[in-house]
């Protein structure tokens, strides 16, 4: 198998993420941010690596001064009507995550889904959806096509499945926080004051 420099793979990922960013709907992002800012409390959830992205997002929301909780943590309080649940799920149909989202919806929470698959089980019950697109144009060059498929996890050999969804979701989540800092006129010092001081 041909070897690749790590830096080259980073460039490939960055290029793809840039292309994905250009496909995200302004209207969907504005709707998502509005719901976050108007929520009583924000719960975040995801499975596997998407769950790690969700936890990182919850931490940033806390730094912003919002009440944010991670579903499944021992100190997470009961969810109520008026709360919002943000779900990170590329497929939109991970069973455990979908079960919890449906329960949250029955309780009266709003569901916001970050996904590559809006026409999914979770997508059908969501109040807002941001699509992190995984579709791509066909590439004529077989060697380049192979490399892109590897990076996107279309083959099992060296790129983990879902890599670009999760990496793009992480960057999207951080960009949302940056935008919310602008809207709420929160400076970085306020975030630093909420950062943990017992590490």
The residues assigned a catalytic role are 166
The CA distance from 166 to 161, in Å, is 10
Phi-psi region of 86 (alpha: psi -120 to 50; beta: other; left: phi over 0): beta
Secondary structure of 31-97 in the HEC alphabet?
HHHHHHHHCCCEEEEECHHHHHHHHHHHHHHHHCCCCEEECCCCCCCCCCCCCEEEEECCCCCCHHH
Q: Is the distance from CB of 133 to CB of 23 less than 8 angstroms?
A: yes
| Tokens of residue 111, six digits | 């569901």
3-state SS, residue 185:
coil
Could you give the C-alpha distances from 18 to 23, 77, 115, 118, in angstroms and in order? 9, 37, 17, 21
DSSP letter, residue 197: S
3-state SS, residue 128:
strand
The CA distance from 52 to 44, in Å, is 10
């Amino acid at each position: 198998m041909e070897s690749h420099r790590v830096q080259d793979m980073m460039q490939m990922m960055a290029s793809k993420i840039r292309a994905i960013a250009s496909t995200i709907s302004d209207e969907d992002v504005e709707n998502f941010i509005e719901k976050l800012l108007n929520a009583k409390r924000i719960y975040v959830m995801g499975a596997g690596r998407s769950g790690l992205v969700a936890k990182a997002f919850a931490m940033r929301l806390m730094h912003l001064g919002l009440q944010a909780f991670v579903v499944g943590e021992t100190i997470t309080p009961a969810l109520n009507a008026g709360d919002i649940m943000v779900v990170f799920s590329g497929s939109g149909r991970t069973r455990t995550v979908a079960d919890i989202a449906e329960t949250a919806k029955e309780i009266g929470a709003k569901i916001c889904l970050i996904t590559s698959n809006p026409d999914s089980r979770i997508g059908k019950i969501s109040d807002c959806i941001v699509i992190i697109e995984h579709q791509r144009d066909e590439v004529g060059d077989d060697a380049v096509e192979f490399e892109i498929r590897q990076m996107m996890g279309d083959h099992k050999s060296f790129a983990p499945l879902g890599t670009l969804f999760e990496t793009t979701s992480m960057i999207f989540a951080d960009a949302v926080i940056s935008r919310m800092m602008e809207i709420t006129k929160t400076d970085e010092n306020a975030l630093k004051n909420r950062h943990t001081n017992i590490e």
